[in-house]
Structure 1
Amino acid sequence: MPLIEMLILIKTKAVFLFGFIIGGVLALLLMLAEDLITDEAACSAKAIKLPSDTKNENYEGYITLEKQEKNDLSKVIQKSTYQKWLQLQNVKLSRVNMDELVYGKKLSAVTTKSLLLEADWLKSRIHITCAIFVNKIKLARSIRDTWAPHCNNIYYFAADRQDQDIPVINFDIKLTSSWQLLCESIRHIWKKSLNNSKLTGTDTNNRIEWVIFVKDDTMVIPENLRYLVASMDFENSYYLGHPVTLWGQAYNVAQAGYVLSKRALAKIATNFNTRDKCATGGKYWKQEDYYLGKHLGSMGITPSDTRDKNLSGTFHGYSLQILLWGVAKSGRYWTHALYPIGPSCCSSKSITFSAGEADKMYNLYYLIYRLNIYLVDRTFGHYSAPTEIPDPEMWKVILKEEFNITNLSDISSQRYYDIWRDRYSEPEKFIRNTYKNMPDVLSSLLTAYEAERKLEKANSSLS
């Protein structure tokens, strides 16, 4: 190849390479600029929401039932679908000091008329029905005592379980599969909502918007479920949970729980409107989740992606201990997940966990709903427990109740101590008097034991 042609070729490639590099750098700069603009908008939203004197404080969300001002959050770009939905409700999200909220004085009557806890406001707007499949009555009782009151309505279904305290619903038929139990439960819930609508014409506890189905070893956080579905229309078909695929069929696994919107529930109840249809819809036990996904899929209803922005899951079929510390993610739950979970297993807006046992249910409930973490010094939270009788006066009450001494005017604290010591022995003296013969007893027991061992050896040698 001539030298001139070679130089031209090299020059052409160099120009191309230089242009490619410049184009890549410009594209990267544009992406970074877009991220900076987005981050700045997000920070502005937080600045608008958070008062200037609230650094390093813990706060709980409050809803102000009033229209937003023109220059408020409505002009800030929000990524969150929930935030967009919230703006359309003519309410304003503000924050209060958690220390004052939990321990402080009650808010004034004027304030309480316009403020509600965000979770309480959502409960009044987003109706969650909880359906529990009972295998152990003990677990059903732990649900009743923990997260059940956070649902708007709750049903307990079982194949062959009954209890005086838990209103477990048993169907007067011979169940041949777990799908049949699920199908009959769906029909029961749907009939209840229809009958209530006909009788009252108003929305009460039996109205249907969203229904979550879980086993009795599952911990549910209804507040986070409301947060997830708030911006969704329950008149559309939604099927939520942790979806996996089996034999080409996508379905939400029962161990993580699954949620049906009103329209999806209605389609199942309409298509399986007789007991015979429920009985023939699935023939195997422990496969009701697969059959539900299969039937919904035939109606064009597929599982939705319930992961958060970090690709972390919100419906969990395992306990926190397994999820966070050393599980081998080799089962179908992970390997066949329709929407793969990211490196961080659990979203901060998680909805379900497996509890396993009743005591673990109580532990989780305490940690989620009762335990408050305060990162800085507090005022209200440091108040001592109220006592009816001051500590200096308590010894006088004991004198009266224990020794029947009513004239307390001339009794000093030293005299009180002497009276108490004369009546009851000090710990060391009590032990000496009670166990003074203990060495002799132990010696006798040891002698008897050794004699018995010698007798056993003698008998074994004779035999």
Structure 2
Amino acid sequence: MISECSPFLKGVMLGSTVFALITMLGHIRLGHRNRMHHHEHHHLQAPNKEEVLKMSEAEREELSNSIRVYCIILVTPQDVSLWAAVKETWAKHCDKAEFFSSEYVEVFESVTVNETDTWLMMKQASIYAFNTYKDQYNWFFLAYPTTFAVIENLKYFLLRKDPSQPFYLGHTELSGSHEYVSVDGGVVLSIESMKKFNRLLTVSPSECPEEERGIWRMSEDLLLAHCLRYEGVLAENAEDEEGKNLFNTKTIGMFIKEAITDYPKDIVEGCCSDMAITFSRLTPDEMHVMMYGVYRLRAFGHFFNDALVFLPPNGSDND
């Protein structure tokens, strides 16, 4: 039957067979390497309030001051309206936020990476961030300009997590037998994971795919997971005490619509976590609406008895 097929079809079938074999061998190789590491994959939960209240005030203050988040936001010149919205809203709550663009845009003081391929931009941004700030920040948050992040909730989630361990956190999804963190919901890497990723990029670059190419194009989030998996760093899903996702790949409006259908008698509980860290696919206007709801709207006379306070960065124009 194959002999009667066109040369093109033969090539496709042969290519598929070779690709499957390479993938299988790669998984065997990665699996062998992963057994050398002890940081196992699991679903991670935020600390509960009672646990935090048991800490002394001095311990809480020390912990809150020790969590320093550097935000990497990947943009293109075509994203200028989203770019402006992120800069005017949640990015002000990062300890430091920088925009990485394929071209320099003076008004936003972007870091130019001279790449248009998103995966190559991500790798260049990671190398720059690690080499420049490895002694100043212990957590790195990677996001697109369509993402809205509540950085204080991120810091609370990271409260009892050791950045010297290789964490790779966010909203996990499955590809074949492997999980990866969706960049749509934002990716969090500890300083140890950044160290491993950068060592791979600079010392063993052949083990990390160069770019998205070929018939079977892998997205940048899958490529990132592939590289980190080689170093024994596995994707971990961030959840609250009820198992609700903290990093979300949709807008809050989408979740509410789904909850109206799926949980008509308990829409709020059926929607989202009270400690949600990110929402995605936002327009610039939706970004400002989120900023209003999260940071600016106040109930007069009502005080939240939060166990921790995360102060804004010094000199920041903070809401």
- What letter is aligned with 1:163? V
Q: Who is 1:156 aligned against?
A: 99
1:344 Cα offset (Å): 2.7
Q: Which runs of 4+ in 1 moved over 6 A?
A: none
Q: Who is 2:132 aligned against?
A: 192
- What letter is aligned with 2:152? E
Alignment partner of 1:133 out of 42, 54, 74: 74
1:178 Cα offset (Å): 2.3
1:227 Cα offset (Å): 0.3
Alignment partner of 1:232 out of 161, 169, 176: 161
1:123 Cα offset (Å): 5.6
| Distance change in 2, residues 1:279/1:237 (3 Å) | closer
Q: Distance in 2 between matches of 1:165 and 1:275?
A: 37
Q: Distance in 2 between matches of 1:82 and 1:129?
A: 25
1:290 Cα offset (Å): 0.6
1:86-105 aligned within 5 A: 87-88=54-55, 90-91=57-58
Q: Who is 2:19 aligned against?
A: none
Matched residue SS, 2:234: coil
Alignment partner of 1:243 out of 139, 149, 172: 172
| Distance change in 2, residues 1:81/1:372 (3 Å) | closer
Alignment partner of 2:107 out of 165, 171, 179: 165
Q: Who is 2:183 aligned against?
A: 254
RMSD over aligned Cα atoms? 3.0
The 8 Å contact of residues 248 and 278 in structure 2, kept in 1 or not, is answered as: yes
Q: Distance in 1 between matches of 2:259 and 2:50?
A: 35
Structure index of larger Rg: 1
Matched, 1:288 2:220: yes
1:347 Cα offset (Å): 0.8
The 8 Å contact of residues 244 and 251 in structure 1, kept in 2 or not, is answered as: yes
- What letter is aligned with 1:189? A
1:16-415 aligned within 5 A: 80=47, 83-84=50-51, 87-88=54-55, 90-91=57-58, 124-135=65-76, 136-160=79-103, 162-172=104-114, 174=115, 177-194=117-134, 197=135, 207-273=136-202, 277=206, 280-284=209-213, 287-326=219-258, 344-354=270-280, 356-374=282-300
| Distance change in 2, residues 1:164/1:275 (3 Å) | farther
1:217 Cα offset (Å): 1.0
Listed as ranges, the gaps of 5+ residues in structure 1 are 1-78, 94-117, 198-206, 330-342, 377-463
| Distance change in 2, residues 1:83/1:278 (3 Å) | farther
The 8 Å contact of residues 123 and 152 in structure 1, kept in 2 or not, is answered as: no
Q: Distance in 1 between matches of 2:59 and 2:124?
A: 42
| Distance change in 2, residues 1:252/1:345 (3 Å) | farther
Q: Which structure is richer in relative contact order (CA contacts within 8 A, separation 6 or more)?
A: 2
Q: Distance in 2 between matches of 1:355 and 1:375?
A: 34
The 8 Å contact of residues 130 and 153 in structure 1, kept in 2 or not, is answered as: yes
- What letter is aligned with 2:284? A
Q: Who is 2:266 aligned against?
A: none
Matched residue SS, 1:306: strand
Q: Distance in 2 between matches of 1:252 and 1:283?
A: 17
- What letter is aligned with 1:151? C
The 8 Å contact of residues 307 and 314 in structure 1, kept in 2 or not, is answered as: yes
Listed as ranges, the gaps of 5+ residues in structure 2 are 1-45, 262-268, 303-319
1:282 Cα offset (Å): 3.8
Q: Distance in 1 between matches of 2:53 and 2:206?
A: 41
| Distance change in 2, residues 1:128/1:367 (3 Å) | same
Q: Distance in 1 between matches of 2:196 and 2:59?
A: 36
The 8 Å contact of residues 156 and 168 in structure 1, kept in 2 or not, is answered as: yes
Report percent identity of matched pairs.
Answer: 21
1:265 Cα offset (Å): 0.8
Q: Distance in 2 between matches of 1:151 and 1:311?
A: 26
The 8 Å contact of residues 240 and 306 in structure 1, kept in 2 or not, is answered as: yes
